[in-house]
Amino acid sequence: MPDIEPIIFDKQVFLTTEREAGQRIDKYLAGRMSGLSRSLVQKLIEAGHVIMDGVICKRNTRIREGQSIIVEIALPSDFELTAEEMDIEIVYEDDDIVAVNKPAGLVVHPAPGHFNGTLANAMLHHCGQLSDLAGPLRVGIVHRLDKETSGVMVMAKNNKAHVGMAVQFRERTLQKEYWAIAEGELRFDSDTIDLPLGRHFRDRKKFAVVFGMGKESKSHYSVLERFDGFSLVEVAPKTGRTHQIRVHLKSLGHPVICDGYYGFRRKMRRRDLVPPEVALELTQEKLDEILLNRQALHAHSLHFAHPVSGEKMDLHAEMPEDMKDVLALLRQYKKKG
């Protein structure tokens, strides 16, 4: 018996190409799905969680061009979320909720390739108990941030608090503000981006502006500072679509810097920001120093009603050092006005 239980927490869809034809399905999926080993892929296949053109396949099945493959990500039967001690900055805490300043690079909850070492693991250790309404993988989770996005996140310690927070997210009565360093200089000092978002038609891991079939998505932005070739922007999303801010800024031609999915560059080095006369005085090692290697997006603030007491909550998370370092050089060498 395969040690997989039908606890499904994700589904992925693939369409095979001519170049991929002839590969075994287990090898193909292990190469396409980041974080999943070939042995785990084989267990998913044996448990009937991989479907090709509507039919459950075997692990030695060879794929053909133009086939549709649906993969259900399920958990091993013995999986249990473990408490792990980590150094996480606590922004606010009481008997019902805990808010943290999530560092960039930390996954919020277990997912393929990240069954441990997540924020959920850390907060289970810190709090001892979290709400379980979202299931065994998402204890305490009422909203999420992308792995490489830093900033303030609230988690529920009990189910009453979870329901109270979930209602506010669903009814859009709370307010979020993000800080982003964007490529180029936005045309307007402030504006609302009202463009529907949906899955990218080629890359299912990405999102894009999709007219006709996309979901309503709105973001209001204000330019906080202008630089030569860059802008510091505050963005308040009015809806909560996946990758919303990143895709909306890209749609304007001003993606978040160092956004590997939607941007123009993956890394920001010191040499990218200092003028030639300053570069001459610096060592090669200093010029090659990487200041930022993730999207420059930070969840700065969150405003909501306490889910139990009703008290007005205004929580803030300090900008991380990597974004501060980039801004310091922008202010020193590329400030406008």
Question: Would you say 109 and 103 are in contact if contact means Cβ atoms under 8 Å apart?
Answer: no
Rounded to a whole number of angstroms, the CA Rg of the chain reads 22
Structure tokens at 314: 């205004």
Amino acid identity, residue 286?
A: K
β-bridge partners, 146: none
Cα distances (angstroms) measured from residue 318 to each of 95, 97, 103, 290: 23, 19, 11, 21
Q: Which is it for strands 150-156 and 297-305: parallel, antiparallel or unpaired?
A: parallel
> What gap in Å lies between CA 176 and CA 297, rounded to an integer?
13
DSSP string, 270-309: GGGTS-HHHHTTS-HHHHT-EEE-S--EEEEEEEEE-TTT
- Which residue of the set 96, 146, 259, 322 is catalytic? 146
Residue 97, phi then psi, degrees to nearest 5: -135, 160
* C-alpha dihedral (225, 231, 233, 237), degrees to nearest 10: 160
263 neighbors 295 (Cβ within 8 angstroms): yes
Q: Please name the residue ranges forming H helices in 95-206.
A: 119-127, 159-171
- What is the DSSP pairing of strand 175-183 with strand 150-156? unpaired
Is residue 181 within 8 Å of residue 298, measured between CB atoms? no
The reply to whether 146 belongs to the active site is: yes
Active site residues: 146
